[in-house]
Structure 1
Amino acid sequence: MRVVLTGGGTGGHIYPALAIGREVSERQPGSSLLYIGTSRGLESRIVPEQGIAFEDITITGFQRSLSWENVRTVVRFVQGVRRSKQLLGKFKPDVVVGTGGYVCGPVVYAASRLGIPTLIHEQNVIPGLTNKFLSRYVNGVAVSFAESAAYFDKCPDVIFAGNPCATRVLQANRSRGFESLGMAPETPFVLVVGGSGGAKALNDAIVQMVPLIDKIPGVHFVFVTGERFYKSTEEAIQRSLPGSSNRVHVFPYIHNMPEVLAASTLFIGRAGASFLAEITSLGIPSILIPSPNVTNNHQEANARSLADAGAAVMILERDLSGKALFDHVNSIVGDPARRGIMAKASKGLGMPNAASAIYEQIIRLQQRK
């Protein structure tokens, strides 16, 4: 099978696309993949590292207010469609899959105009602008949350599949996760991640929390700061450390995140859709601090869906502090019964067969062509 993948800007759009691509390659060995993104997006670095062919187009997103930049964006969209048609004509894909972010707009739209079967995957409870636009043209939509299906009533084939990242994380090796952190197997640890780029508000709360961690004996803490915040946050943590510095591990970025996540006892972080899919697939309890700086405040809706199910605690960023974070960590880690209830609720939300469901939808769309 020949598949074009597109989506970008953040890891939340890129990793689901890669997970779908891997599922196709495993189910149909010898398949060819092409990823179309932007040269400025994170995908331009991540995708080639995975050994997948990469091509770029030039496109920007719409501003929320009236602006001349939106006129330029329309021009770039038209140019992006033209460039996408050239790339699609050369690659001749059997299907084109978009996973959100403005880059997939011209690519998926061009494929629909060329009569190529198209599918989009929506990771969040509240769909992004690009996917809502594309839903009028695509052949199929796969959603991660059941609540999202109502937004895509114009599409003839909508399935509640979950997020394909959930499938990949189940294959992660927990032992390698502990080994990569320099920990003995089964060491309890709290994993704190602010997303692919880091989150300053979360880093600041962690620095405030560090002096209190001696009150939670035996538990390690793994802080992933984001590369741009690493130096300042690591220095602040070192200044704040109590005597148990050997239980604190600070990293700018973790390349084997599925393995580390699979080994963790408690997750703290933003409410990006891919992370939520992974932790629910694994049944990990969480403390979620949704980013207030995202379109439609979709992370709060994501986090609330887990909190309402009893799988997570949600702290709004305006209420975030080191003391508040410590209190929640202590109450979860220090209470095995509560942690077990949260883990069970988390596991109950997981959809580990998401990648397989999306693959089957792709096959169905192909057969209808």
Structure 2
Amino acid sequence: MESRCISLPNIFVVTGGGTGGHIYPGIAVAREILRRLPQWGVVFVGTEKGLEAKIIPQEGFPFRTVNVEGLKGSGLFQALKSCVKVPLSVYQAVRLLKELNPIGVLGTGGYASGPVVYAAYLMRIPTIILEPNVYPGLANRLLRRSVDKIAICFPETEKFFPKEKTVLTGNPVRREIVEVGKSPPPAGLDRRTVLIFGGSQGAHKINMAVVEALPYLSPWKEAVQLIHQTGEADFDRVAEGYRLAGFSGELHKYIRSMPQAYARAHLVICRAGATTVAELTACGKPAILIPYPYAIYNHQELNAQALAKAGAAEVIRDQDLSGKVLAEHIIAFIKDPDRFSEMHIRSKALGKADATQRLCDEILNVIRLKEEAL
């Protein structure tokens, strides 16, 4: 459901969505813009069917929609149907931008951002796109020649974009996450805390692998504490697995305060989405990454390998995941305390704690330069 925006002197538009990796960085930027320029307004534009339609209003921002569908992963008929709708989507975006009259537009990726950013280009509105993954999505690749500035999160991504307009900012994360990274790693290496999650809905295969790993971890149960976000669907089954294995893990259907959970963790076991990777490195958390194998362009595998190459994470491919394999990785960490310290340093070195500030600086600079040129 759309929420209308009030009339404000300067409105900035953030567009993108489909997944959390394209939504949460935009929210972080929006909050930073409003912190710096409280007289401004920020309006989000997405699709009514995307995840953004639920998240953005909950975060308290005005939300508007355009009618657009994704191309990647569709069948031939659906792809042709989506292509036919592109001109209409751009037309809708032009009408919306004429109504909002924004001072600038940020595209955070996902198919929702394409028509809006391109419409802004046609209207000579300052534009910047953020690419959160190692391998760029289709929308950002198509927009690379049209936009004023391109912000990337991994050095490996630079080769996909025009060098003269590309800048490495890092991926914006919430201030609360950045604050965790300012503190030293948690004490108590005699008992390691392992945080496990697969996203807000959980990840069934990771959940089942953890349950299968518990008997292998049994000799080490006094040396490890598990904080496990299971999601709603698997909670009862996982809880029964812990009970049968004699483990008193801390189980949650949903962890409401991820910053607190990160602060307590010595090691994190999770997927490798863009936002998760940015949060891990902002906090400096060693990780065992299990990339989601069906992610578009296999971007989670590429994200995970970037961290592994830097010595900040270990990777278990989804097809190789089992309780025994997962337990072996966890036990190796328990046996080697120096591993935590070394990987913490390497993870922290990858993190861009000031990514939100950097991106906001780039946004305001693009707006200033465009205004001076007019």
TM normalised by structure 2 equals 0.89
Deviations 1:286-330 (A, max 9, x none): 000111111221111111111111111111111111111111112
Say whether residues 1:126 and 2:108 are aligned partners: no
In structure 2, the partner of 1:222 is 227
Deviations 1:1-49 (A, max 9, x none): 4211111111111111111111111121232010111122111111111
Q: For 1:43 and 1:293, how far apart are their aligned partners in 2?
A: 21
Question: Would the alpha carbon gap of residues 189 and 54 (structure 1) be closer, same or farther in structure 2, given more than 3 Å must change?
Answer: same
Q: Which moved more, 1:130-139 or 1:237-246?
A: 237-246
In structure 2, the partner of 1:323 is 324
Say whether residues 1:140 and 2:142 are aligned partners: no
**Aligned-partner residue type, residue 221 of structure 1:** L
**Aligned-partner residue type, residue 119 of structure 2:** A
Instruction: Decide whether the 8 Å contact of 2:180 with 2:283 is kept in 1.
Output: no
Deviations 1:171-216 (A, max 9, x none): 35999xx9xxxxx9x9842111112443222122112113334333
Q: For 2:256 and 2:94, how far apart are their aligned partners in 1?
A: 34
Query: Identity over aligned residues, as a percent?
Result: 38
Say whether residues 1:160 and 2:162 are aligned partners: no
Superposition pairs of residues 53-72 of structure 1, within 5 angstroms: 53-64=62-73, 67-72=76-81
- Equivalenced residues, count: 356
Q: Which moved more, 1:64-73 or 1:77-86?
A: 64-73
Q: CA deviation at 1:242?
A: 4.6
Instruction: Decide whether the 8 Å contact of 2:211 with 2:241 is kept in 1.
Output: no
**Aligned-partner residue type, residue 241 of structure 1:** R
In structure 2, the partner of 1:368 is 369
TM normalised by structure 1 equals 0.90
Q: CA deviation at 1:348?
A: 1.1
In structure 2, the partner of 1:181 is none
**Aligned-partner residue type, residue 194 of structure 2:** V
Partner SS state of residue 241, structure 1 = helix
Q: For 1:166 and 1:324, how far apart are their aligned partners in 2?
A: 33
Q: For 1:125 and 1:236, how far apart are their aligned partners in 2?
A: 33
Q: For 1:204 and 1:66, how far apart are their aligned partners in 2?
A: 32
- Where structure 2 has 5 or more consecutive residues not aligned to the other structure, the ranges are 1-9
Instruction: Decide whether the 8 Å contact of 2:214 with 2:247 is kept in 1.
Output: no
Q: For 1:366 and 1:168, how far apart are their aligned partners in 2?
A: 28
Partner SS state of residue 118, structure 2 = helix
In structure 2, the partner of 1:347 is 348
Q: Which moved more, 1:97-106 or 1:27-36?
A: 27-36
Q: CA deviation at 1:146?
A: 0.8
Instruction: Decide whether the 8 Å contact of 1:167 with 1:353 is kept in 2.
Output: no
Superposition pairs of residues 1-369 of structure 1, within 5 angstroms: 1-64=10-73, 67-153=76-162, 156-165=164-173, 169-171=177-179, 188-216=192-220, 217-227=222-232, 229-231=233-235, 234-242=236-244, 244-246=246-248, 248-369=249-370
Deviations 1:49-97 (A, max 9, x none): 1110111222111145761212210232222212222221122111111
Question: Would the alpha carbon gap of residues 198 and 139 (structure 1) be closer, same or farther in structure 2, given more than 3 Å must change?
Answer: same
Instruction: Decide whether the 8 Å contact of 1:195 with 1:272 is kept in 2.
Output: no
**Aligned-partner residue type, residue 227 of structure 2:** V
Q: For 1:124 and 1:25, how far apart are their aligned partners in 2?
A: 26
Partner SS state of residue 191, structure 1 = strand
Question: Would the alpha carbon gap of residues 76 and 31 (structure 1) be closer, same or farther in structure 2, given more than 3 Å must change?
Answer: same
Q: For 1:42 and 1:30, how far apart are their aligned partners in 2?
A: 28
Q: For 1:351 and 1:225, how far apart are their aligned partners in 2?
A: 29
Instruction: Decide whether the 8 Å contact of 1:63 with 1:69 is kept in 2.
Output: no
Question: Would the alpha carbon gap of residues 172 and 92 (structure 1) be closer, same or farther in structure 2, given more than 3 Å must change?
Answer: farther
- Where structure 1 has 5 or more consecutive residues not aligned to the other structure, the ranges are 179-183
Question: Would the alpha carbon gap of residues 168 and 146 (structure 1) be closer, same or farther in structure 2, given more than 3 Å must change?
Answer: farther
